[in-house]
């Protein structure tokens, strides 16, 4: 088991799968987290916020576990409104990392399809910052993006 590390990321839980959302300030981490939770709930799936903006991660039994950071646990930023309370979960096992970037590669190289945190390698996708992409994220989290998908 590794020592916990705090990173600049948001995290949501969909079913039993944790989604870690990384990106620069203003990239849309909180917005994507809210959109993923809303879309999953609309589809009849369990979904909850774990953390927003800062997430504590650690390796545990070969899995990457994310937990909220106490001072901001259960809170999420809504741009233009401020910080609001949100139902949340206390932990998630991360199954997918989404990196929000300005210019993602059109066709990612094989080494771009995963990322290693705390010694655990996790599948990763890179999406354009501030783009509404909850449907893509949920499809990837469900394994649909393992094949060619026409959107």
CA distance 56 to 140: 23
CATH code of the domain covering residue 75: 3.40.50.300
Q: Map residue 81 onto helix, strand or coil.
A: coil
Q: How many structural domains does the chain have? A: 1
State if pTM tops 0.85: yes
| C-alpha Rg value of the chain to the nearest Å | 14
Range of the domain at 114: 5-146
**pLDDT tens sequence across 94-117:** 999 999 999 888 888 888 899 999
pLDDT of residue 9: 97
Structural domain contains residue 151: no
For range 9-29, the mean pLDDT: 95
Residue 37 lies in a domain: yes
Beta partners for 57? 5, 66
pLDDT digit string (tens) for 47-96?
999 999 999 999 999 999 999 999 999 999 988 899 999 999 999 999 99
């Amino acid at each position: 088991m590794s020592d916990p590390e705090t990173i600049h990321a948001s995290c949501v839980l969909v079913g039993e799968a944790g989604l870690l959302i990384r990106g620069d300030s203003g990239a849309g981490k909180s917005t994507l987290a809210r959109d993923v939770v809303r879309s999953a709930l609309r589809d009849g799936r369990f979904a909850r916020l774990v953390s927003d903006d800062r997430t504590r991660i650690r390796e545990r039994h070969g899995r990457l576990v994310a937990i909220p950071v106490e001072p901001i646990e259960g809170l999420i930023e809504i741009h233009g409104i401020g910080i609001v309370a949100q139902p949340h979960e206390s932990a998630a096992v991360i199954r997918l990392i989404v990196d929000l970037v300005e210019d993602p590669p059109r066709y990612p190289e094989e080494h771009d399809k995963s990322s290693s945190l705390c010694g655990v390698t996790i599948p990763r996708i890179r999406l354009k910052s501030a783009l509404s992409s909850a449907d893509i994220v949920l499809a990837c989290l469900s394994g649909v993006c393992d094949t060619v998908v026409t959107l």
